[in-house]
Amino acid sequence: MEKTLVILKPSAIQRGLISEIIQRFERKGLQLVGIKMMQLSDEILNIHYGHLINKPFFKQTKDSMKRCPVIIQCWTGIDVISVVRSLTGSTDGKYASIGTIRGDFSISIQENIVHASDSPEAAEIEIKRFFDRNEIFNYSLNISSYLYADNEK
Ligand code: ADP
């Protein structure tokens, strides 16, 4: 089953949204398979946000991500990468749809609460970037037959 990487950014930690966001993923029926707190460094952020390196906001976005520890998570489920992106909402919190995490809790393009992998290729690379192999757990959810039909699993 697909896996995706989620980061609860300093804006989520400082605003007391950790449990709210985890609850949204759990209620959707996603399964948490890895979680840890990390203080991010320039070194890892230069790689993680490498696609933004030429943007004028690159340094301020990195500084924002370093202001306090973040919570890194790995979630699994059917089509979890696109499901989590739908739950997260579009990048700019001002315009993200109401009902999404960014739409409900952010009014900023930078302070937008969560990072979520945007493709299967990115998810694979990002999970390896932030987790050692033994930090991702493989276990079954006993309720899976209440989450999916047999032909969906
Ligand atoms: P997403 O996080 O939705 O995948 P991007 O990969 O384009 O979006 O951008 C990474 C992060 O950089 C965003 O989540 C946001 O925190 C920050 N960012 C993007 N665009 C801007 C901008 N115009 N000004 C400030 N910060 C930005």
Q: Which domain holds residue 26?
A: 2-37+70-146
Catalytic residues: 115
Q: Read off the CATH number of the domain in which 87 is found.
A: 3.30.70.141
Is 63 part of a structural domain of the chain? no
Tally of domains in the chain = 1
Average pLDDT over residues 92-96: 98
Is 65 part of a structural domain of the chain? no
Task: Please give the Cα distance from 140 to 146 (Å, whole number).
Answer: 13
Is 102 part of a structural domain of the chain? yes
Is 53 part of a structural domain of the chain? no
Tell me the pLDDT tens digit for each residue of 7-60.
Answer: 999 999 999 999 999 999 999 999 999 999 999 999 999 999 999 999 999 999
Q: What is the pTM of this model?
A: 0.97
Is 123 part of a structural domain of the chain? yes
Q: Which residues line ligand 1 (CB under 6 A)?
A: 52, 57, 61, 91, 109-110, 112, 115, 118
User: Which pLDDT score, from 0 to 100, does residue 153 have?
Assistant: 80
